[in-house]
Amino acid sequence: MTDPLLAAAKDLAPTFASRAAHWDRSRSYCWSNITDLVDAGLMGMSIPKAYGGQGASFLDVAMVVEEIAKACTLTARVVVEANMGGISAVMAYGTEEQKAFCAPIVLAGDKPAICITEPEAGSAATQMQTTAQKRGKTYVLNGRKHWITGGGVSKLHLIFAQVLAEDGTPQGIGGFIVHVDHAAPPKGFTVVRREHTMGLCGMPEAELAFDDLEIDAKWLLTPPSGLKRGFADLMTAYNSQRVGAGTIALGVAAGALEHAKRYLLERQQFGRPLAEFQGLQWMVADMDTQVHAARLMLHDAARCDGTFPDMIKAARAKLFASEMGIKVVNDALQMFGARGYGDQEPLERMYRDVRMFTIGGGTAQILRTQIAGAALGIKVPQTRDGYGTPSQQIAAE
């Protein structure tokens, strides 16, 4: 399975690299790249064959993501979210109707939006204030979501909310599958605004508002454990997305290292190539070692025995890869000097892009808290609120 998918990614990478600056400067979504991804079978490749996908493993996906991230961070993020996270949760826990509905939309080029974060509930996801109250055969959603990746372009939304019975009794946190045609959005669904971001400028990060948004009860995604434990189960799907996010950082770093090696071999100073200077050689050695270490950790996490990657393996890999990515890209930019600081080379864009990955998908600090809790065998104070283990509670920002 890996070889044809990886070959397709490598074939597309030069095209994606040639377009990357355009998406960044125009702050526009990479629609033409998505067409290429669909044609190559890289959207929804993890969806089971029974629903039209290729049944690719998370390791298959990770290898494809790294290759694409070397060329275009924005496109790599689309690939992650079309193969991991929300769509994985639907495929694992959804009803036959939910799976049959969502799969074709993703295969046709949609990047599902996971709607967890709120203005007052980021890392503390279980404190979300968005509610979904039962009303006959429907649920009525009210609330706000913030920093929703793909807000305004995604069709499928997995909206998390505090579920209430008809009498207002709390039932737990659930995820609702909502399809949005942005040309004619459903009543009660509004894209309030788009954030102006430092990097990944072509990817919308939006605030969404729900005002008496009615959703048929059949679109409530409920794991076998039910609503009381459902959020914890749904969040296990987020482990795959963390592996994906870490792999994007890995790919950006690997791409930056390739640019740096090329420059050191081509650029001459004091009568010889920069590659002959020992100080720069040692930098390359450190960068190469860090990239290799991150790849091993991420691939280990992606080779999951169960439905989703192990929580702590995913957290460790994402933490290491995201911080490594910033350092390696920064060192590569340093090797280029002033040229790297300008837009003649892609390093300045890559640096702005990679900076996000210690924040989105679980901050570096939250991941450290999670890892420490597991290492010490304790529940850390920040997560004692009755919704399961720390790693099951913590969402993305």
**What's the pLDDT tens digit per position in 97-123?**
999 999 999 999 999 999 999 987 656
Is the pLDDT at 288 greater than 90? The verdict is yes
* Residue 155 belongs to domain with CATH number: 2.40.110.10
Is the pLDDT at 390 greater than 50? The verdict is no
Is the pLDDT at 226 greater than 80? The verdict is no
Contact in structure between 12 and 76 (CB atoms under 8 Å) = no
Domain check: are 267 and 377 in the same one? Answer: yes
Domain check: are 214 and 242 in the same one? Answer: no
CA distance 193 to 11: 36
**Res 395: pLDDT:** 37
Residue 241: which pLDDT band, with cuts at 50, 70 and 90?
very high
CA distance 213 to 280: 57
Domain check: are 140 and 191 in the same one? Answer: yes
Residue with tokens 């065998």: 377
**Res 121: pLDDT:** 67
Number of structural domains in the chain: 3
**H-only helix segments in 72-142:** 73-81, 86-93, 96-107
Neighbouring CB atoms inside 10 A of 349's CB total 23
Residue 322 domain boundaries: 237-393
Domain check: are 297 and 364 in the same one? Answer: yes
Question: How far is C-alpha 240 from the geometric centre of its chain's CA atoms?
Answer: 9
Q: Give Cβ neighbours of residue 245 (< 8 Å, ≥ 6 apart).
A: 80, 318, 322, 357, 360, 361
Domain check: are 50 and 124 in the same one? Answer: no
Contact in structure between 335 and 283 (CB atoms under 8 Å) = yes
DSSP secondary-structure letter at 109? T
Classify residue 90: in a domain, yes or no. Answer: no
**Res 307: pLDDT:** 86
Domain check: are 213 and 248 in the same one? Answer: no
Classify residue 103: in a domain, yes or no. Answer: no
Domain check: are 214 and 251 in the same one? Answer: no
**H-only helix segments in 108-170:** none
**What's the pLDDT tens digit per position in 17-55?**
999 999 999 999 999 999 999 999 999 999 999 999 999
Domain check: are 208 and 250 in the same one? Answer: no
**Res 385: pLDDT:** 43
Angle between helices 347-354 and 311-336 (to 10 degrees): 150
**Res 2: pLDDT:** 55
Contact in structure between 280 and 353 (CB atoms under 8 Å) = no
CA distance 297 to 206: 32
Classify residue 100: in a domain, yes or no. Answer: no
Is the pLDDT at 192 greater than 70? The verdict is yes
Residue 393: which pLDDT band, with cuts at 50, 70 and 90?
very low
Domain check: are 241 and 386 in the same one? Answer: yes
pTM: 0.93
Domain check: are 177 and 266 in the same one? Answer: no
Q: Domain boundary residue among 83, 99, 124?
A: 83
CA distance 36 to 45: 14
Classify residue 32: in a domain, yes or no. Answer: yes
* Residue 9 belongs to domain with CATH number: 1.10.540.10
Coil vs helix vs strand at 92: helix
What values do phi and psi take at 109, rounded to 5?
125, 10
Is the pLDDT at 75 greater than 70? The verdict is yes
CA distance 204 to 146: 11
What is the identity of the amino acid at 143? Answer: G
**Res 21: pLDDT:** 98
Is the pLDDT at 233 greater than 80? The verdict is no
Domain check: are 300 and 194 in the same one? Answer: no
Is the pLDDT at 59 greater than 80? The verdict is yes
Q: What is the mean pLDDT of residues 129-153?
A: 96
CA distance 201 to 78: 13
Is the pLDDT at 200 greater than 90? The verdict is yes
117 token code pair: 């974060």
Classify residue 156: in a domain, yes or no. Answer: yes
Residue with tokens 């690939």: 79
| Average pLDDT over the chain, rounded to an integer | 92
Is the pLDDT at 195 greater than 90? The verdict is yes
Q: What is the mean pLDDT of residues 227-239?
A: 78
Question: How far is C-alpha 67 from the geometric centre of its chain's CA atoms?
Answer: 16
Q: Domain boundary residue among 225, 260, 290?
A: 225
Classify residue 57: in a domain, yes or no. Answer: yes
Domain check: are 159 and 247 in the same one? Answer: no
Q: What is the mean pLDDT of residues 288-293?
A: 98
* Residue 367 belongs to domain with CATH number: 1.20.140.10
Classify residue 89: in a domain, yes or no. Answer: no
Classify residue 97: in a domain, yes or no. Answer: no
Residue 124: which pLDDT band, with cuts at 50, 70 and 90?
low
Q: Domain boundary residue among 36, 64, 83?
A: 83
Residue 392: which pLDDT band, with cuts at 50, 70 and 90?
very low
**What's the pLDDT tens digit per position in 319-369?**
999 999 999 999 999 999 999 999 999 999 999 999 999 999 889 999 999
